[in-house]
Amino acid sequence: MGSQGYITATGGTATGFSGDKYTDYIAIVPGQKYGWTAYFSDARCIAMYDANKVLIRTISGTAAGNPSYYEFVAGGNEYFFRGSAYGQPNPPKLERVPYTLKDKIIKLEADLLAATPNAAVDYEYNAPAYIFASDNDSSGFYSRDYVQHLYPDSLLRAKLDMSLDDARAVNVQSHVKNVATKENVAMTHVLGGNGYKDKTFAYNLVKTKASNAKNKAIRYLAIGDSMTANNIAQTDGVLRGGGCYNAIVKELAMMDNIDMGDNSIKVALIGTGNRTDNPPATYKGQSISIRNCAEGRGSWCTVNYLRHMLHTITSGSTTTSFAGVDAWDSLGLGRKIAIDGTYDEGVAYETYTGTNAQKLLIAQTPHGKYHWDYTANLWAWLDAKYAEVSGAYAGSAEQKTLIDTKMNYLMDNPSNPFFDKAVAKATGDYAFSLTKYLARYKTLADDGVTRLVVGSTAGSHVTDATAYDVCTPTHITLEVGENDRWHFGGVMTAQLTADDNLKIMNAIAAEYPAIKAGFITTRMMGPMFPEKWSDVADVSPMSVGSNEFKYDMNKIVQTALGTLASQTTKYFIPTYFTHSLTSFSSTRKDIDLETGKEVSVGGTDINHPGIQCYWSMAYQILAWIYYTL
């Protein structure tokens, strides 16, 4: 492929992640059309140069829609090309494309259909077995119920021009109110398109009366990455009420209270971080104030929460992250001597060279399984973090003692609040412990209200019992996995990442069988065919190639957890299927001067959900919580 790194917007190069590569100069013919088969995202660019290899222009992955395949026409004075690629399973390639190729393909497909009119193409899809909903059973005539949606885009793995019931989306809502507290409404739709097989699928709309939550404890802990850490403004650009899905869960519950005329549904949001106190929202003339806490950390992976004492990846090391050789040495993978064994420098040391096997070891080894390795690299990492560590590493006894002191401190005061070195030593596979989390950080009694006393009833690491809110949760959601594939050079597959999500859920169930833990995830943002939504949005298309990982992970967990009836502690929550296609974190609402209607504009961040996505996710989560009570 070429060199490690990527082409920048100025035609230069940047180091990037370990999975980044860029080509040398490739000769192209002015005026000819080319196809670049490679995923290049965000700031990664392709670049065109003149005959003297002077830069003429660049095209960023963001501007191109972060594609896996991109076509361009070489300008009249463009003679050379360089391209960026990230995490490619196969070597990227630049190919000359005849202008008539698309027309020929379209004609060939039409000829084939005409010759065999009854032939229909098969395809892969995955549908939900159930979707949760809340039945607003307030006494007033006005009932605030929500209409959810299913999209072909949320069912398909590949980019196919298809419809649901001959529409771009279908409404998911019952036309009648519940009689029983919990009811299943059978729903059926047909997925199909011109030249493709029609596929009928059925699922249950699982509706629970909101009143089922009255006077029952709801203490909700959200664990995740940047999608759980973000605080997004409303569609008018103003921060108000809940700015993340977990905070909107509480906002929705408080709106249910207002509808029912009481304050009997109480939701406590739990976490040591992501503390936000946005200006209040207003509903029916009443103010809704939300104190949000969660465990959301940007760039964090499933493997980090499951195994590592701090953010640990294979590239991009900082004073808050172990990466590459620093991660290797912190995990003791050079010599693999047991944490409580006698450290012997006579044991052969395996040098870190960044092979896929070594990257996988970093991902799948917990801190605390092996004793860290005494190396100049680990010393340098500690030197950058601590003033007491300084000077060149000579391997002296004093330096090793200082390494021990700092590494033991990190293990006892980890960035990962769920890390427990005793669990790592006992299992050799993971270090996640909710018990340890509560022992360190608990600030509230399990009524979710009463403050504990620092130095007495509060957790061992608590210095201010009002700084955040932690008590034993009744419900936990797990939103991680997107970063695993990027930060380990592609070795963390959807299957491995799904397995690690399930391991966290199993660890929670083993320690606290009464807690309900739910898996949630999102698609890549955007519709497969933005032109179908031009009346409501002007946004970037979904990066379908990137979404395959999320489709697969979602399907694997869905299959592993089985039917809803069999789920008692570990749940699959179908947020992947129902969240908005057109709400990005970067989306704003503008006025269409043709119609006067609001249009969603500017969705270019294809990774992070916008506020409408958060609302649809929150509604699924709250309806799930109501169902489990």
Segment 521-527 shows an average pLDDT of 96
- Residue ranges of alpha helices (H) inside 443-493 are 484-487
Looking at residue 302, what is its pLDDT? 99
More confidently predicted of 145 and 59:
59
Question: pLDDT over 90 for what percent of the chain?
Answer: 78
Q: Is 245 exposed, middle or buried (0-12, 13-18, 19+ CB in 10 A)?
A: buried
2: left (phi over 0), alpha (psi -120 to 50) or beta: left
How far, in Å, CA of 623 to CA of 20, rounded? 41
For residue 563, report the phi and psi dihedrals to the nearest 5 degrees: -70, 155
How far, in Å, CA of 102 to CA of 124, rounded? 24
How far, in Å, CA of 245 to CA of 292, rounded? 10
Q: Are 110 and 58 in contact (CB under 8 A)?
A: no
More confidently predicted of 75 and 110:
75
Residues facing residue 81 across a β-bridge: 26, 48
Per-residue pLDDT at 142 exceeds 70: no
Looking at residue 117, what is its pLDDT? 52
Q: Tokens for 518?
A: 């739910």
* Residue 605 binned pLDDT confidence (cut-offs 50, 70, 90): confident
Per-residue pLDDT at 103 exceeds 80: no
Looking at residue 237, what is its pLDDT? 86
Looking at residue 140, what is its pLDDT? 65
How far, in Å, CA of 1 to CA of 7, rounded? 13
Q: Are 203 and 129 in contact (CB under 8 A)?
A: yes
CA 467 vs CA 406, 416, 435, 462, 506: distances in Å: 26, 18, 20, 9, 30
Per-residue pLDDT at 599 exceeds 80: yes
Per-residue pLDDT at 102 exceeds 60: no
Q: Tokens for 565?
A: 């009836």
* Residue 360 binned pLDDT confidence (cut-offs 50, 70, 90): very high
Looking at residue 144, what is its pLDDT? 80
Looking at residue 90, what is its pLDDT? 67
Looking at residue 291, what is its pLDDT? 96
Looking at residue 114, what is its pLDDT? 55
Helix, strand, or coil (residue 36):
strand
Q: β-strand 13-14 against 6-7: which pairing, if any?
A: antiparallel
How far, in Å, CA of 379 to CA of 401, rounded? 11
Per-residue pLDDT at 271 exceeds 80: yes
Question: pLDDT over 70 for what percent of the chain?
Answer: 95
* Residue 109 binned pLDDT confidence (cut-offs 50, 70, 90): low
Q: Are 608 and 526 in contact (CB under 8 A)?
A: no
- Can you name the CATH fold of 130-299+444-620? Rossmann fold (3.40.50)
Q: Are 387 and 347 in contact (CB under 8 A)?
A: no
Looking at residue 104, what is its pLDDT? 53
Least confident piece of the model among 2-16, 144-158, 462-476, 489-503: 2-16
Looking at residue 69, what is its pLDDT? 83
Q: Are 328 and 358 in contact (CB under 8 A)?
A: yes
How far, in Å, CA of 427 to CA of 504, rounded? 13
Q: Helix, strand, coil % (nearest 5) of the chain?
A: 30, 25, 50
Give the tens place of pLDDT for each residue, 199-224: 999 999 999 999 999 999 999 999 99
Helix, strand, or coil (residue 228):
helix
Looking at residue 143, what is its pLDDT? 67
Q: Which of 158, 192, 38, 162 is nearest to 551 (CA)?
A: 158
Looking at residue 139, the DSSP 8-state letter turns out to be S
Helix, strand, or coil (residue 441):
helix
List the beta strands (DSSP E) in 127-216. 130-135, 148-150, 163-164, 170-172, 182-192, 199-209
Tracing tokens 């006894």 back to the chain, one arrives at 397
Looking at residue 588, what is its pLDDT? 83
Q: Where exactly are the structural domains of the chain?
A: 3-115, 130-299+444-620, 309-415
List the beta strands (DSSP E) in 210-346. 217-224, 266-270, 273-276, 281-283, 286-288, 292-296, 311-313, 321-323
Q: Burial code of 477-507, b = ≥16 C-beta within 10 A, e = fewer?
A: bbbbbbbbbbbbbbbbbbebbbbbbbbbbeb
Looking at residue 586, what is its pLDDT? 85
Least confident piece of the model among 4-18, 125-139, 157-171: 4-18
Per-residue pLDDT at 250 exceeds 90: yes
Per-residue pLDDT at 64 exceeds 90: no
Handedness of CA 381, 383, 388, 392 (dihedral sign): positive
How far, in Å, CA of 134 to CA of 297, rounded? 29
Least confident piece of the model among 63-72, 252-261, 397-406: 63-72
Give the tens place of pLDDT for each residue, 188-200: 999 999 999 999 9
Residues facing residue 53 across a β-bridge: none
pLDDT, averaged across the chain: 93
Q: Which of 360, 482, 478 is nearest to 418 (CA)?
A: 478
Least confident piece of the model among 64-68, 349-353, 460-464: 64-68
Say which residues have a Cβ less than 8 Å from residue 515's Cβ, sequence separation at least 6: 434, 472, 473, 474, 475, 476, 508, 509, 569
How far, in Å, CA of 472 to CA of 514, rounded? 11
Q: How many residues does the chain have?
A: 629
Q: Are 66 and 55 in contact (CB under 8 A)?
A: no
Residues facing residue 55 across a β-bridge: 49
Looking at residue 589, what is its pLDDT? 84
Q: β-strand 292-296 against 217-224: which pairing, if any?
A: parallel
Looking at residue 249, what is its pLDDT? 99
Looking at residue 245, what is its pLDDT? 98
Give the tens place of pLDDT for each residue, 374-391: 999 999 999 999 999 999
Give the tens place of pLDDT for each residue, 451-508: 999 999 999 999 999 999 999 999 999 999 999 999 999 999 999 999 999 999 999 9
Say which residues have a Cβ less than 8 Å from residue 254's Cβ, sequence separation at least 6: 265, 267, 283, 288, 290
Say which residues have a Cβ less than 8 Å from residue 293's Cβ, sequence separation at least 6: 269, 270, 271, 272, 273, 274, 275, 468, 469, 470
